[in-house]
Amino acid sequence: MSRVAPPRGFASDEFEARLEKAQARMRREGLTSLLLTREAEVRYFSGFTTPFWQSPTRPWFLLVPLRGKPIAVIPEIGVAAMRRGWVDDIRSWPAPRPEDDGLSLLVETLRETGAERGRVGVPMGPETQLRMPLADYYRLEAALPTTEFVDATGLIRALRLLKSDAEIARIAHVCALAGEAFAAVPRLAATGQPLAEVFRAFRIDLLRRRVDDVPYLVGGAGPGGYADVISPPGDRALGAGDVLMMDTGAVYDGYFCDFDRNYAVERADAAAHRAYATLYRATDAGFAAARPGARCADVFHAMRTVIEDAGYDVGDVGRMGHGLGMQLTEWPSLTATDRTVLAPGMVLTLEPGLSLGACCGMVHEENLVIREDGAEWLTCRAPDELPVLA
Q: In the window 133-172, what residues touch its own copies (CB under 8 A)?
A: 133-135, 137-138, 151, 153
Map residues 317-336 to x or -, x wherever contact with its own copies holds by CB under 8 A: xxx--x----xxxx--x-x-
**249 contacts 258 by C-beta, under 8 angstroms:** yes
237 binds its own copies (CB under 8 A): no
Site residues (CB under 8 A) for its own copies, limited to 192-221 = 200, 203-204, 207-208, 210, 212-218
Contacts of 215 (CB under 8 A, 6+ apart): 249, 250, 251, 256, 328
Nearer of residues 200 and 273 to its own copies, judged by Cβ: 200
**Closest separation between CB of residue 128 and its own copies, Å?**
5
Give the phi and the psi of residue 238 in degrees, each rounded to 5.
-60, 135
**190 contacts 176 by C-beta, under 8 angstroms:** no
Site residues (CB under 8 A) for its own copies, limited to 16-45 = 40
Nearer of residues 98 and 372 to its own copies, judged by Cβ: 98
Nearer of residues 333 and 367 to its own copies, judged by Cβ: 333
**332 contacts 322 by C-beta, under 8 angstroms:** yes
Nearer of residues 296 and 389 to its own copies, judged by Cβ: 296
How does strand 374-377 pair with strand 366-371? antiparallel
**Closest separation between CB of residue 332 and its own copies, Å?**
10
Q: Could you give the CA distance from residue 323 to residue 333 in angstroms, rounded to a whole number? A: 7
**Closest separation between CB of residue 316 and its own copies, Å?**
4
Q: Could you give the CA distance from residue 134 to residue 137 in angstroms, rounded to a whole number? A: 5
Residue from 32, 33, 46, 128 touching its own copies (CB under 8 A): that is 128
77 binds its own copies (CB under 8 A): yes
Q: Residues 78-114, buried b or exposed e (16+ Cβ, 10 A)?
A: beeebeebbbeebbbbebeeeeebbbebbbebbeebb
Q: Could you give the CA distance from residue 374 to residue 369 in angstroms, rounded to a whole number? A: 9
**Closest separation between CB of residue 125 and its own copies, Å?**
5
Residue 4 three-state SS: coil
Site residues (CB under 8 A) for its own copies, limited to 51-70 = 51-52, 54-58
- Number of chain positions touching its own copies (CB under 8 A): 74
Nearer of residues 12 and 54 to its own copies, judged by Cβ: 54
Nearer of residues 283 and 329 to its own copies, judged by Cβ: 329
Nearer of residues 81 and 158 to its own copies, judged by Cβ: 81
Phi/psi zone of residue 298: left (φ > 0), alpha (ψ -120 to 50 degrees), beta? Answer: alpha
97 binds its own copies (CB under 8 A): yes
**Closest separation between CB of residue 287 and its own copies, Å?**
22
Nearer of residues 316 and 372 to its own copies, judged by Cβ: 316
Residue from 11, 24, 124, 240 touching its own copies (CB under 8 A): that is 124
Q: Residues 212-233, buried b or exposed e (16+ Cβ, 10 A)?
A: bebebbbbbbbebbbeebeeeb
Please name the amino acid found at residue 328: L
